Structure formats: C-alpha cells, structure tokens
Chains A and B, each alone.
Chain A
C-alpha cells in the first residue's frame, strides 16, 4: 500500500458512521485489495467475485453502526463480512445447482467441494496449504467453505470433539505461520 494513513482507525469509524464519502473512499482504497483476496480465495468466478466485493462494501457502508470496536478491529469485522458473503454466494449457488428442498448435511458433495478449490496461491489460502493433509482439509472446509463442525463431523465421519480439537490445533499452527 503506498497511500499514507491519514486516519486512525477510530477516526475512520467515526467518519464512516457520519456517512462521510471521503472516508469511505479511503477505506476502499486501503482495504479493497485485501478483502478481494479473501473473496477470490472462496469464489472462483471473477465476475461473481466482483459482485460479492461490491455487495461487501455496500454492506459495510450501510451496517457500519453494527461495528463494535470492543469486539475487534475494523479489518476483522470487514474480513468476516467478506468471508460470509463469499460463502453465502457459493452455497446459494450450490443449492441452486443441486437438489432443492433437501437438508444441507445430506446433500452437499463434500468430496467435490474439497477437490475443486478456488485460487490456491493467495493470502491465507496459501498459508493453509502448508498445513498437513487432514488439518488442511478441516480448515478448508470450515473457514473457506463455511461448514459447521457438526457437518464436517458427519461428512468425514470423525467425532465432533475431534473435529473441534483438530481445527483448534490447525488454527494455532496458522497463527505461528503468519506471525
């Protein structure tokens, strides 16, 4: 990033809450690339990824009141909005393509989902590929595909408690990799 930080995070949030367009432009210039990175690691199709990114920023603009600084940094909040929006997009498409009116746990094709990834060599996704086999699959399914621990437990036939402890252990490894 070559643009100089002209706002502190606190100032930025305050201005955004007053619907300041200049501050919003600054937010876009400084964070769109990072958020696009997470969207692209979940959504393969560039056009759909563009739509998702557009919705993400419109939602940030509209829902900035919901941001609570006590619960985390602004970027973390935006990152979660972007991740959720991308997963929702992929999942709703999955629903459209596969059988309708069926329960999620029974009909999602986990095998295909794991072996048909989006971009592999960007950002967090690249770090995740360094995890060993099973841990990588678990993080991929939970973080990049949004499956709940229960769904993963059923799909991979691993006890729920084990799914949880392994994901936790994978995440602590991830932390040491990015620090």
Chain B
C-alpha cells in the first residue's frame, strides 16, 4: 500500500474524530507504529483540531467547576478516610456527646473501611479486565498482521440489528477465530452456533460458549473453504447439529 495515498484517504481525520470503525482503528494504530509519516500526519491534524477548538471556546457557567470538584471530592474522601472532629463544648451533656461521637466515629471508620475495601476490589477487577482486553487486542493485531488471514464482519440481522461480530480465518492453517463485539446474552436453554457458507450451503463451525468477559476471542472448528459466515441462536442439546434451525443473528461475507 502507498503510504501517502493511505494518509490522504481521510483515515487520519476519521480516526482522530472518532468516526473510524473498529477494524480501521486497529489498522491505523498499527500504521502509526510502522510509518512515522502516518504518525506525524495524525499529530498535525490533532494539533490543528485542538487549535481550532481553543480558538472557538464557549465559556461555561462558573458554577459547573464547583459542582465537578464537589463530585470528585466525594471519591477522594472515600479513599483517604480522614475525619475531622468538632470540639465538644463543656456542658453537662458533654460526656454523653463525647460518648456518642466515639460511637459515630467507630461507625464512620467501619463504613469508610468498607468503602475502601470495596474500592480495592473494584480496582482489582478493573485492572484484570484491562489486562485481559490488552491480551485480546494483541491477539487481534497478530491476526491482522498475518497476510493469510481473511476477515469477515458479521452484521446484525432483523432479530438483533445492534449485534456485531468478526470472524478471522487463517487460510493457511484453516483456523477460525470469532470475536464477539456485541451479541445479546442467550437464554439459559439456548446457545449460539457459527456456520460457514460455501455455495449457499451451511456447515457447522461449532457451538459458542459465551462467557461474561468483554470482547472475547473464540477459536472454533477449522474451515477448508468458505464464502460467508453466520451465527444462529439454537436450542441447547440438539441431536443434529449439521443444519441451522434457529434465527440468524449476524451474517457477513469474506
């Protein structure tokens, strides 16, 4: 591919403005690593866009800044668990007030500790998820760099227009990988099945075990030849898996 043509194709602007598709985005990021001129074209457009935006500011109402800081301080307080104690006046009921404040303090500390632990668990889950996503992205990049890998975007059909998956098919090893970008969670008695089409005839590519994790990459049966792929939703435990019976959710050509 001619790099200059690639740069002037409008991909730089699409990417920066957030209008590129997932595949275009991943390809563009790869091109930025490989070709410094693509990276500098991206930088130049980003700077121009930023300059244009800075020259055209609309100043928001001053109260918004305070609201934002109030909202983020709630998070900060939960993390730092600091407590300020108000001085107790020396009155008859002072010792009761002191006792009550100790109880309150203990309760509050317990509450903060709870929040802190919850926060920690969430952070761990989050880190794990990010790490897994990075792994998947790496896998996809390896697949996309391989010239023998063909790709098919399977778009949502009428039963589920928002669905979207991607099939990567290594024509040398015949391995088939499926990436689920968006597919509704099936009912407990149902299961998705992938099909390869050759001359209009479907052949079973295997059942898909959906897990809860985001953006999963599944390895399915090998395909010797295919022109298109589709996913149907089938009843679990069918005795004959060779022909599709359920609704088609997504479909796409190579």
Contact = CB atoms under 8 A, between A and B. Distances in A.
B64 A32 contact: yes
Interface string A44-60: 00000010011001100
Interface centre among B9, B53, B57, B69 (most CB of A within 10 A): B53
A7 interface: no
A54 B68 contact: yes
Contact of B54 (A34, A62, A66): A34
A178 B52 contact: yes
Contacts of B135: none
A137 to B, nearest CB: 15
B76 A19 contact: yes
A95 B21 CA distance: 24
- Of B9, B18, B45, B162, chain A has the most CB atoms within 10 Å of the CB of B18
A65 B126 CA distance: 11
A1 B17 contact: no
Contact of B52 (A24, A28, A73, A127): A127
Nearest to B52: A178
B217 interface: no
- Which range contains the number of A residues in contact with the other chain? 35 or more
B56 A103 contact: no
A168 B52 contact: no
Contacts of B69: 21, 25
A36 B10 contact: no
B29 interface: yes
In terms of DSSP, what is the predominant structure of the interface of chain A?
A: helix
Interface residues of B, number: 46
B164 to A, nearest CB: 10
B3 interface: no
A80 B18 contact: yes
B48 A175 contact: yes
Contacts, number: 130
By DSSP majority rule, is chain B's interface helix, strand, loop, or mixed? Answer: helix
Interface string A74-107: 0110011001100000000000000000011100
A122 interface: yes
B149 interface: no
Contacts of A8: none
A152 to B, nearest CB: 11
B89 interface: no
A57 B53 CA distance: 17
Interface in B213-241: none
A43 B30 CA distance: 34
Interface in A159-176: 167-169, 171-172, 174-175
B67 A37 contact: no
Given A28-B65, A50-B60, A71-B29, A124 B19 contact: no
B52 A40 contact: no
- Which 4 A-B pairs rank lowest in CB-CB distance, beginning with the nearest? A33-B57, A168-B10, A171-B13, A123-B56
Interface of B: 8-14, 16-19, 21, 29, 32, 42-54, 56-61, 64-65, 67-69, 71-72, 75-76, 130, 155, 161-162
Given A34-B57, A73-B46, A179-B48, 16 more contacts: A1-B54, A19-B76, A21-B76, A25-B69, A37-B56, A37-B57, A37-B58, A53-B64, A61-B68, A65-B130, A80-B17, A124-B53, A150-B155, A168-B9, A171-B10, A172-B13
Interface of A: 1, 19, 21, 24-25, 28, 32-38, 40, 50, 53-54, 57-58, 61-62, 65-66, 70-73, 75-76, 79-80, 83-84, 103-105, 122-124, 126-127, 142-143, 149-150, 167-169, 171-172, 174-175, 178-179
